Amino acid sequence: MSKRVPQEQYEKTFSYKFKRWLDGTKDPYLNEVEMKPQEPFCESQQDVERREEYRKGMRERVYNLDRNAGQRIFRKFYSVFSVLFCLFLVAMLLAAVSWLPSFGEADNPVNNEVSRRYIEKGLQETGAVNIVTGMILDYRAFDTLGESHVLFVATCTVLILLRLDRREDMEKYQSNDRLHEPKNDVILQTAAKILVPPIMIFGIYVILAGHLGPGGGFSGGAVIGAGMILYLNAFGFAKTEKFFTAKTYKRLSFGALACYSLAKSYSFYTGANHIESVIPLGTPGAILSSGLILILNICVGIVVAGTMYTFYVMFRKGGY
């Protein structure tokens, strides 16, 4: 039987505090953490009115439904016709699918010499245990080269649209953003402290082991990018800008894409001219194996992580 403790001593124990938290009588963060309620977003009545008026005037000017009979008829026709057309398209595609070879049959046209060679010889020809990685980074590397540049060009387009280059814009929007940004949220910071290192390590593992098991540059890069976004949310731009700025991103993505292009140019050139490639395939299953695939995976990973992070920063703040 346990010893009975005095009330005073009991109140200091963890179990008492836990019990009170469970009951809901005490909030452990109350008076311990600085808590500032978010400033409510309020708009002056005048602004609201002006906006409404503008919108109404715009609609009036563009459509002017009262006078424009053609527009009125078109709108009715459009809403009916678009539904009908979608239904027709759905029906047509479903009907067409029903005529396709049935899914998963052994003698479907898809199961031909192409996939047979990938499955039977993939390991010895590419050195990658993961056949999918071998396919996308060795057999059909040209497609993937294009695909990684799709990410690059997408980032550039987002930069065109959202990057704030003029100083006055920058100041205006940044101050605006800071108002609504959660500051020093203890729960988020603690969670991030615990979660971010494993996320990063897991992402790096997924990239590095892309040729050995499920994973690769695209998925691993996405994991790392997510980790970086979490870190940014917890600790704010001041911390992340110490190691990752626009310049870092530019250099990293250029380095990765240049490395990718050069490595692949070498293998395309030697392949087409029937020159023996000097890159060894190594023992399948070892981390340093399967020729260029490991390097390419790292390049793709860097590009994907940078792209995700940059997208987030651009939508959040418009520059970093």
Partner 1 sequence: MDFVRNFPFMSIILSLFSGPLSSVLNAKWAKRLNTAVITAVGIMSAAVLIYVLGTGEPYVYMMGHFPAPWGNEIRVGVLEAFMALFFCVIMLLSMMGGSAERQKELEESKQNLYYIMVDLLLCSLLALVYTNDLFTAYVFVEINTISACGLIMIRQNGRTIEAAVRYMIMSLLGSGLLLLGICFLYDLTGHLLMSNIKEQVQILAASGEYHIPLIVSLGLMSVGLAIKSALYPFHTWLPDAYGYSTISSAAILSSLVSKGYIFLLIKIFYRVIGFDFVGESKVIHVLYVFGIIGMIMGSVSAIREDKIRRMIAYSSVAQIGYIYMGFGLGTAEGVLASMYHVISHSATKSLLFVAASGLTDASGNSRHFRDLTGAGYRNRLAGAAFTVGSLSMVGMPIFSGFISKLLFARAAFGHEYKMLPTLIALAVSTILNAVYFMKTVIRIYTPAEHPAEMAQGRKITVKEQPTKSVALVFFILLNLLLGLSSEPVTRLIRQGLDMFG
**Cα(180)–Cα(177) distance, integer angstroms:** 6
Residue number with CB closer to partner 1 (211 or 264) = 264
**Cα(59)–Cα(68) distance, integer angstroms:** 12
Residues at the interface with partner 1 (CB under 8 A): 92-93, 95-97, 99-101, 108-115, 117-118, 125, 138-143, 145-147, 149-150, 152-154, 156-157, 159-161, 163, 165-166, 250-251, 253-254, 257-258, 261, 264-265, 267-274, 277
Residue type present at position 130:
N
Find, among 140, 115, 123, 121, the residue nearest to 281 by Cα.
Answer: 123
Strands (E), the chain: none
Least Å distance between CB 312 and partner 1? 19
Q: What is the DSSP string of 136-188?
A: IIIITHHHHHHHHHHHHHHHHHHHHHH---SHHHHHHHHHHHHHTS--S-HHH
122 neighbors 134 (Cβ within 8 angstroms):
yes
Least Å distance between CB 262 and partner 1? 8
